[in-house]
Amino acid sequence: MKTQGKDAGGFRILVINPGSTSTKVALFHGEICVASSTLNHSGEELAVFNKVMDQLDMRTEAVLAFCSENGILRADAVVGRGGLLRPVAGGTFRVNHAMIRDLMESRFGEHASNLGPILADRFGEKFGAPAFIVDPVSVDEYEPCSRISGFPGIERRCRTHALNIKAVARRCAEELNKPLRDTNFVVAHLGGGISVCALAGGRIIDSTDGLLGEGPFSMERAGTLPISGVIDLCFDKGLSKKEVLHLFSRCSGFFGYTGIGSFKDILELIEAGDRTALLVFEAMVRQVVKWIAAMAALFKGAADSIILTGGMANSLLLTYAIQEYIGHLARVIVYPGEFEMEALAGGVCRILKKSEPELDY
Helices (H), 212-274: 227-237, 241-250, 253-258, 263-271
% of the chain beyond a pLDDT of 90: 91
Q: What is the pLDDT of residue 8?
A: 35
Mean pLDDT for 55-73 is 97
- The helix/strand/coil state of 148 is strand
Closest CA relative to residue 168, chosen from 296, 340, 356: 340
Q: How confident is the model at residue 251 (pLDDT cuts 50, 70, 90)?
A: very high
Q: How confident is the model at residue 70 (pLDDT cuts 50, 70, 90)?
A: very high
Q: Is 68 exposed, middle or buried (0-12, 13-18, 19+ CB in 10 A)?
A: exposed
Q: Is 309 exposed, middle or buried (0-12, 13-18, 19+ CB in 10 A)?
A: buried
Please give the Cα distance from 79 to 123 (Å, whole number): 9
pLDDT in tens, 193-204: 999 999 999 999
209 strand-pairing partners? 214
CB 30 within 8 A of CB 12: no
Q: What is the pTM of this model?
A: 0.92
- CA distance between the termini of the chain: 35
Range list of β-strands (E), 10-74: 12-18, 22-29, 32-40
pLDDT in tens, 333-361: 999 999 999 999 999 999 999 999 999 99
Which is it for the CA torsion 221, 102, 59, 161, positive or negative? positive
pLDDT in tens, 175-187: 999 999 999 999 9
Q: What is the pLDDT of residue 103?
A: 97
pLDDT greater at residue 142 or residue 110: 142
Q: What is the pLDDT of residue 21?
A: 85
- Say yes or no to pLDDT of 213 above 90: no
- Say yes or no to pLDDT of 2 above 90: no
- Say yes or no to pLDDT of 331 above 90: yes
Helices (H), 134-274: 162-175, 227-237, 241-250, 253-258, 263-271
When the pLDDT of each residue in the chain is averaged and rounded to a whole number, the result is 95
Q: What is the pLDDT of residue 4?
A: 40
Q: What is the pLDDT of residue 100?
A: 98
List, in order, residues 6 or more apart from 68 with CB less than 8 Å away. none
Please give the Cα distance from 311 to 335 (Å, whole number): 9
List, in order, residues 6 or more apart from 227 with CB less than 8 Å away. none
- Say yes or no to pLDDT of 1 above 70: no
> Domains along the chain?
6-138+341-352 (3.30.420.40), 144-329 (3.30.420.40)
Q: What is the pLDDT of residue 42?
A: 87
30: left (phi over 0), alpha (psi -120 to 50) or beta: left
Mean pLDDT for 55-77 is 97
Please give the Cα distance from 208 to 337 (Å, whole number): 20
Q: How confident is the model at residue 211 (pLDDT cuts 50, 70, 90)?
A: confident
% of the chain beyond a pLDDT of 70: 98
Please give the Cα distance from 79 to 92 (Å, whole number): 9
